[in-house]
Structure 1
Amino acid sequence: MVNKSKLHLLDNATTVRLSETFKLLGDPTRIKILTILSNDEMCVCDIAATLQMGQSAISHQLRLLRSARLVKFRREGKEAWYSLDDNHVVVLLNQGLQHILHN
């Protein structure tokens, strides 16, 4: 974990990667997907049903989240099952939530 005193030491590549992660987190649908996946592993069809969206739209969002290593997947037959990549994603969501709820 990076502490406050080391934030000024971020190189350009790290700054760009961090910025792109925050851009991905800036979409309400992706936040909903991450929130859903924080509870359990799910397939695209179940995520789509929960959010009342098309499977192709969900697949597109999951592809973006995978590219940023926010979610991972495993294949079971023809279905792909998605879950959060690691606990850091939950920490990011919780920290953001605490920030907006802070008075």
Structure 2
Amino acid sequence: MHDSIPGFFMPSDDDVARAAETFRMLGDPTRIKVLWALLQGENSVACLAELAEVAPAVVSQHLAKLRLAGLVKGRREGTFIYYSAAEDSDALQLLRQALTGAAEAAQRS
């Protein structure tokens, strides 16, 4: 027991698993590029593929995973689907902070 640590709290196994899944989603360079682009605004698969410098099929596969994880949402307009970052996502705020911090660290080097 950790009675000697005031206020000690261990998250549940389910919470730990969800956090690990979120980090797994953020652990892929292509998904990071796609999410970063979506943080700038809504985009189509073709545009995201161009920005991430990968094939549209690759972006579609990543978007499917990101949508299941609740990090992106899609909006259909005719035959096109436009994607955007999920609002109020803590994971996306973490990504924004990580990329901003990485850019600042690179400038200091």
Whether these two folds match at TM > 0.5 is yes
Corresponding residue pairs, total: 99
Structure 2 CA distance for partners of 1:54 and 1:78, relative to 1, 3 Å = same
Distance 2:42 2:22 in 1: 21
How high is the TM-score relative to the length of structure 2?
Answer: 0.78
Q: Unpaired segments of 5 or more residues in structure 1?
A: none
| 3-state SS, counterpart of residue 40 of structure 2 | coil
2:45 is matched with 44
Contact 2:36/2:96, CA 8 A, preserved across alignment: no
Aligned pairs (5 A) from 1:5-20 = 8-20=9-21
Higher relative helix content: 1
Relative to 1, partners in 2 of residues 1:98 and 1:35: Cα closer, same or farther, differing over 3 Å? Answer: closer
For residue 95 of structure 1, report the CA deviation from its aligned partner.
2.7
Q: 1:7 to 1:37 in 2, by over 3 A?
A: farther
Between structure 1 and structure 2, the one with the greater Rg is 2
Runs of at least 5 residues in structure 2 that lack an aligned partner in the other structure: 1-5
1:16-36 Cα shifts (integer Å, max 9, x gaps): 011011011011110000111
1:75 match: secondary structure: strand
Q: What residue in structure 2 maps to residue 59 of structure 1?
A: 60
Identity of aligned residues (%): 35
